[in-house]
Amino acid sequence: MIKLLIVDDDIELCQLLQDYLSQEGFFVDTVHNGLEAIKQVNQINYDLLILDVMMPQKNGFETLTEIRQDSQLPVIMLTARGEKVDRIVGLEMGADDYVAKPCDPRELVARIRAVTRRTQHQVNSNNNGENKLINHVSLDQANRQVTKDGQAVELTSTEFDLLKLLMENAGKLVTRETISETCLGKKLQPFDRSIDMHLSNVRKKLGDFAKGKPRIKTIRGNGYQYLIWSEQQPEQ
């Protein structure tokens, strides 16, 4: 059974979601502030965290930052409808997805199933996967770890999946549609900037090649390409 933790200071909403999600076959715990959430995550092995942004004591962003120091637990952020900044900040800080409030429980269930299904599929496929090494960046599929020049690079689950997909297709165009369906578990929606936020995080963590040459190239209007760069390659 998939174990969820809902973190929201709206007690009534938590109860409604807990009842609905329990009927859908999930095991659900609820807490009402970030401090309690961090304590629970450290004590119980959850499959996914549903985290509200606006909370007392420690807000969702602060809670996510602290959790990400020790855990790559998948996280879906609950954001106020229309608050684009909250969605962008959440994704930049390592959230895997977001749902706008007030949320349709059916949409939330679909997002939960997409994230957890993708995570489980990746664990199964990674057990038999080969490691990748391109230009000093090593991707260990079995342990879901990335290093650059021997130093660990901390990636979220979604960031790891995105990098894995690009490295498996190094030198080739990977479309935004493919990235959305493979790494986010959903069809690409108009004006959805989730991919751009996750890609931006990966770029920052890996850095560019020497002399500012991009490691991941944007093919405007189409997708992205992981470049294979030779240090002997002459500058254009």
Give domain limits for the chain.
3-123, 129-226
Give residue 39's pLDDT band: very low, low, confident or very high (50, 70, 90). very high
* pLDDT value of residue 124: 55
Q: What is the spatial distance between Cα 86 and Cα 79, in angstroms, rounded to a whole number? A: 6
Mean pLDDT of the 122-132 span:
62
Mean pLDDT of the 154-181 span:
92
Mean pLDDT of the 169-192 span:
88
Mean pLDDT of the 52-66 span:
91
List Cβ<8 Å contacts ≥24 apart for 63-71: 63/7, 63/34, 63/37, 63/38, 64/90, 64/93, 64/94, 64/95, 65/93, 66/34, 66/38, 67/37, 67/38, 67/41, 68/93, 68/94, 68/154, 68/156, 70/42, 71/41
Give residue 236's pLDDT band: very low, low, confident or very high (50, 70, 90). very low
Give residue 52's pLDDT band: very low, low, confident or very high (50, 70, 90). very high
Element (H, E) at 134: strand 132-134
Give residue 156's pLDDT band: very low, low, confident or very high (50, 70, 90). confident
Mean pLDDT of the 207-219 span:
87
Q: Is the pLDDT of residue 87 over 90?
A: no
Mean pLDDT of the 109-124 span:
78
CATH code, 129-226: 1.10.10.10
pTM comes to: 0.68
CATH code, 3-123: 3.40.50.2300
Q: Is the pLDDT of residue 158 over 60?
A: yes
* pLDDT value of residue 235: 44
Residues 67-81: pLDDT tens digits?
988 888 999 999 875
Is the dihedral angle over the CA atoms 42, 194, 82, 65 positive or is it negative? positive
Task: Look up tokens 């200071």; give the residue.
Answer: 9
Q: Is the pLDDT of residue 128 over 80?
A: no
Q: Which of 6-15, 88-97, 112-121, 133-142 has the highest mean pLDDT?
A: 6-15
Mean predicted lDDT score pLDDT of the chain: 87
Mean pLDDT of the 29-45 span:
95
